[in-house]
């Protein structure tokens, strides 16, 4: 699932609304998937990760940079 205001599919993947979703398709799912990969650890990506984890989905968050929520104060990241 690609999150953000303007969704994009990484690695030239095509958003097919079945296996590769944007946040718009994710909120319309009738039931949570068994597992999910979220690309990007911005606020919205981590919100979706938390939501789906609470619903029982096994969530993996991928981030290209060395920390979650790049640019965020390290004190705020400790709980994550």
Short-list 4, 2, 23, CA closest to 13: 2
The predicted-structure confidence for 28-71, as pLDDT tens digits, reads as follows 999 999 999 998 888 889 999 999 999 999 999 999 888 888 88
Residue 45: domain span: 10-71
pTM here? 0.77
pLDDT at position 74 is 83
Q: Is residue 28 part of a domain?
A: yes
pLDDT at position 24 is 84
The predicted-structure confidence for 2-30, as pLDDT tens digits, reads as follows 555 566 555 667 777 778 888 888 889 99
CATH number (domain holding residue 56): 3.50.50.60
As for how many domains the chain has, the answer is 1
Mind spelling out the 3-state secondary structure of 21-64?
Answer: CEHHHHCCCCCCCCEEEEECCCHHHHHHHHHHHHCCCEEEEECC
Q: What percent of the chain has pLDDT over 90?
A: 35
């Amino acid at each position: 699932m690609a999150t953000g205001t303007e969704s994009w599919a990484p690695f030239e993947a095509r958003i097919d609304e079945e296996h590769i979703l944007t946040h718009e398709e994710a909120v319309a799912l009738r039931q949570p998937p068994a597992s999910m990969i979220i690309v990007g650890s911005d606020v919205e990506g981590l919100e979706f990760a938390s939501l789906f984890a609470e619903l029982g989905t096994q969530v993996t968050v991928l981030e290209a940079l060395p920390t979650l929520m790049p640019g965020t104060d390290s004190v705020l990241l400790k709980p994550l």
